[in-house]
């Protein structure tokens, strides 16, 4: 009975509230305000099947998916379910601040942009249309919203990184650029491509994304070791 009441409540909130935004405009992906596009060197563009940033932007302009009302409801219900999880703060995450973050979603229609992988740009979560009806959608959205938190509260997050991880250098041409991480390399983490002509963004030496970068490790570690539902 409680689950049924929750679903009814969520549907009414979907109809009458505006706290979740699903954007059908590609402008947030085309901008370099977050520095992401300028980080894409020759090898990273090759992994994205492009030769230039201009070519990549052309692909981005064609990849936006416009969700229907059922798609929107599915995303909304997933976000509402996350809000009922029993979340706890830790050294780098203040759950009260996390709960105040708006939910902004952009959906892509294929794998031509970032191989269809979930990620964040500016204050927007980017998912593929195939994720909408996945049973893992709540976890996917939660994971990416944690990255939004990291970007918005970078001072506290960076203090934790300095305390827990060892910086060993800066991004090199063979390293995969991740829009959810920064340009620094850390001991015990590796995001290097297997070759100078990677097949795609997954053609890396270490396949476990948890060990791509401390910012990824922190998110995966929190989700895997916290009682979140």
Q: What is the DSSP string of 142-176?
A: HHHHHHHHHHHTHHHHHHHHHHH--EEEE--TTBP
- 85 exposed, middle or buried (CB, 10 Å; 0-12, 13-18, 19+)? middle
Count other C-beta atoms under 10 Å from residue 149's C-beta: 23
Q: What percent of the chain has pLDDT over 90?
A: 85
Question: Which position has the token pair 């990824």?
Answer: 216
pLDDT at 130 > cutoff 70: yes
Q: What is the pTM of this model?
A: 0.91
> What is the arithmetic mean of pLDDT over 112-121?
97
List C-alpha distances in Å: 45 to 24, 37, 51, 173, 200.
24, 10, 6, 11, 10
**Cα 92 from Cα 218, distance rounded (Å):** 9
What is the pLDDT at residue 8? 54
Closest CA to 47 of 226, 207, 193: 193
Confidence of residue 10 (pLDDT cuts 50, 70, 90): low
**Cα 25 from Cα 189, distance rounded (Å):** 34
- 98 exposed, middle or buried (CB, 10 Å; 0-12, 13-18, 19+)? middle
Q: First CA to last CA across the chain, in angstroms?
A: 18
Q: What are the tokens at 155? A: 């001072």
Q: What are the tokens at 143? A: 């994971």
Higher pLDDT pick, 15 / 207: 207
- Rounded mean pLDDT of the chain? 91
Q: Of 19-23, 116-120, 173-177, 208-212, give the lowest mean pLDDT range.
A: 19-23
What is the pLDDT at residue 109? 95
């Amino acid at each position: 009975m409680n689950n049924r009441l929750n679903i009814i409540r969520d549907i009414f909130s979907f109809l009458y509230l505006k706290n979740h935004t699903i954007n059908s405009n590609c402008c947030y992906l085309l901008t370099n305000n977050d520095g992401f596009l300028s980080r894409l060197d020759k090898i990273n563009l090759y992994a994205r099947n492009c030769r230039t940033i201009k070519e990549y932007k052309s692909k981005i302009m064609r990849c936006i998916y416009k969700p229907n009302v059922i798609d929107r409801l599915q995303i909304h219900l997933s976000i509402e379910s996350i809000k009922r999880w029993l979340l706890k703060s830790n050294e780098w995450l203040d759950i009260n601040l996390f709960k105040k973050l708006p939910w902004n979603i952009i959906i892509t229609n294929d794998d031509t942009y970032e191989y269809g992988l979930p990620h964040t740009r500016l204050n927007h979560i980017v998912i593929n249309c195939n994720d909408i009806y996945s049973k893992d959608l709540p976890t996917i959205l939660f994971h990416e919203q944690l990255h939004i938190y990291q970007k918005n509260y970078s001072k506290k997050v960076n203090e934790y990184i300095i305390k827990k991880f060892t910086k060993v250098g800066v991004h090199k041409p063979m390293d995969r650029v991740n829009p959810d991480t920064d340009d620094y390399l850390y001991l015990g983490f590796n995001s290097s491509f297997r070759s100078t002509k990677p097949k795609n963004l997954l053609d890396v030496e270490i396949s476990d994304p948890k060990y791509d970068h401390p910012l990824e490790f922190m998110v995966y570690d929190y989700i895997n070791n916290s009682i979140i539902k």
